[in-house]
Homo-oligomer: A and B are copies of this chain.
Amino acid sequence: MQLEFWFEFASTYSYLAASRVEAVAAAAQVDVVWRPFLLGPIFAAQGWNDSPFNLYPAKGRYMWRDMERQCEGYGLPFERPSQFPRGGLLAARVARLGEAEPWLPDFVRAVYTANFVEDRDIAQREVIEDILHAAGLSAELVDAALAPENKQALRRQTERAQELGVFGAPTFVVGGEIFWGNDRLGQAIGWCAVHGG
């Protein structure tokens, strides 16, 4: 059975999920399909023009403290970035382009590390090019990611997220069921085990 992992590069909890989804899924012999998408249009559709962690300060203060504790628990590095949320559009376009490529998981994790560990601005083209270069990939992937058909493909993917009922990130989708949040990864994997063919 397949687990779809829907993630947004600006999302702190997507960083947690991206760091562990492969290992957790592999242990249960579940295949992961990576689904980059954008939360911006989904938030805009419900009247938010910013991250709910900025719009609702108590929720935001909690999230930053919770992230520190969660990262400590997982043994993950974490530094609160100087800017939040950072624009994940370009990174998402590259990820959409490489969705089925073997380099995708490492690229995704490198982008999260840049944003949430190294405090680098992932919205900048040169930062994404650096990440590709460090991974032994061609910076020309950025040009390909900016082609109209790839932009359109990411747009369609975000629309599909909305159709599935996705309203936040990360979200796991298994056989029509959606599971929201890094905390629900175990349950989504369990769903595969019980309902998988």
Q: Within the complex, which residue of B166, B167, B177 is in contact with A56, where a contact is CB–CB below 8 Å?
A: B167
Most buried by B among A46, A58, A65, A167: A58
Q: Write the chain B residue with the least CB distance to A48.
A: B56
In the complex, what residues of B have CB within 8 A of residue A180's CB?
62, 66
- For residue A179, which residue of chain B has the nearest CB? B66
- Which parts of A61-92 form the interface with B (CB within 8 Å)? 61-62, 65-66, 69, 73
Cα–Cα, bound, A64→B147 (Å)? 40
Cβ of A59 under 8 Å from chain B: yes
Q: B46 and A165: CB pair below 8 A?
A: no
A49 CB–B CB distance under 8 Å: no
Is A178 among interface residues, defined by CB-CB distance under 8 A?
yes
Chain B residues, Cβ within 8 Å of A65:
177-178
Contact B178 A62 (CB under 8 A): yes
0/1 string, A151-195, CB within 8 A of B gives 1: 000000000001001111000000001111101000100000000
A53 to chain B, nearest CB (A): 11
In the complex, are the beta carbons of A62 and B187 less than 8 A apart? Answer: no
Contacts of A73 in B (CB 8 A): 187
A167 close to B69 (CB less than 8 A): no
B56–A187 touching, CB < 8 Å: no
Contacts of A187 in B (CB 8 A): 69, 73
Q: Are B59 and A167 in contact (CB under 8 A)?
A: yes
CB distance from A17 to the nearest CB of B (A): 14
- Provide a sorted-by-A list of 23 A–B residue pairs whose CB atoms are within 8 angstroms: A46-B56, A46-B58, A56-B167, A58-B162, A58-B165, A58-B166, A58-B167, A59-B167, A59-B168, A61-B165, A62-B165, A62-B167, A62-B178, A62-B180, A65-B177, A65-B178, A66-B179, A66-B180, A69-B177, A69-B187, A73-B187, A181-B183, A183-B183
